[in-house]
Amino acid sequence: MREIIFDTETTGFDHQGDDRMVEIGCIEMVDRVMTGETYHCYYNPKRAMPSAAQQVHGLSDTFLSDKPIFDGKAEELLEFLGDSPLVAHNAAFDFGFLNRELERCAREPLSLDRMIDTVALARVKHPGAKLSLDALCTRYGIDRSHRVKHGALLDAELLCHVYIELTGGRQIGLGLADDKASETAEPELGSKTAKDRPFREARPHSASEEELARHASFLENIDKPIWNNGRRS
């Protein structure tokens, strides 16, 4: 199954007001495995960047001044997203901004039926625990030492690892073997070639008469064995 894990950076928290999305990072996963396909874009919000927001993601007015506006890049983003489920951390926030940008350029909003919220998944799996992306990375031992500031593509990559852990852990990929390795691997019991193996009689596992006699002799030499406690003389 194809899924898109994504994150956004914005000028603030109010997508219904004048706050805008300034960055999006998307990573493609198929059957919970990252394929290497990504989509990343910065956007000129056509407004000033508040200092509080810039401290979070480091995106300044100067940096964003020559970036495209969302309308000019909407089609290629939608093409990358396709009709796949969309995974985000606190997904209502990211969906809110993305759909508001689509609305501004007269495009259909993304259906909320496609939304998978990793905060909701984490709340079920770890009730009462801290649910921030940083906290979940710490819980699962995911290295985020290279994360100095928030960045949409970097945070989406970290979220991929968190999402894998929240939905089964790293063992889910054990069935994904290289085809050539599968061809040369030793056949498992029950496979078509197992019947060609020579028949072997079952090995005996019971003690011999000699072994039983030695064991009885050993027990007789034990002084006051604990298994006799409580027995009448």
Give per-residue pLDDT as tens, 97-121.
Answer: 999 999 999 999 999 999 999 999 9
Q: How many angstroms separate the CA atoms of 158 and 152, rounded? A: 10
Cβ count within 10 A of residue 34? 15
Residue 150 annotated in active site: yes
Query: What's 37's DSSP letter?
Result: E
Annotated catalytic residue within 15, 57, 89, 150: 150
pLDDT score of 191:
44
Q: Give me the half-sphere count of Cα atoms (radius 13 Å) on the Cβ side of residue 179.
A: 0
Return the minimum-mean-pLDDT range out of 23-32, 49-58, 199-208. 199-208
65-71: average pLDDT: 98
Domain boundaries, the chain: 2-172
| pTM for the full predicted model | 0.72
Architecture of domain 2-172: 2-Layer Sandwich (3.30)
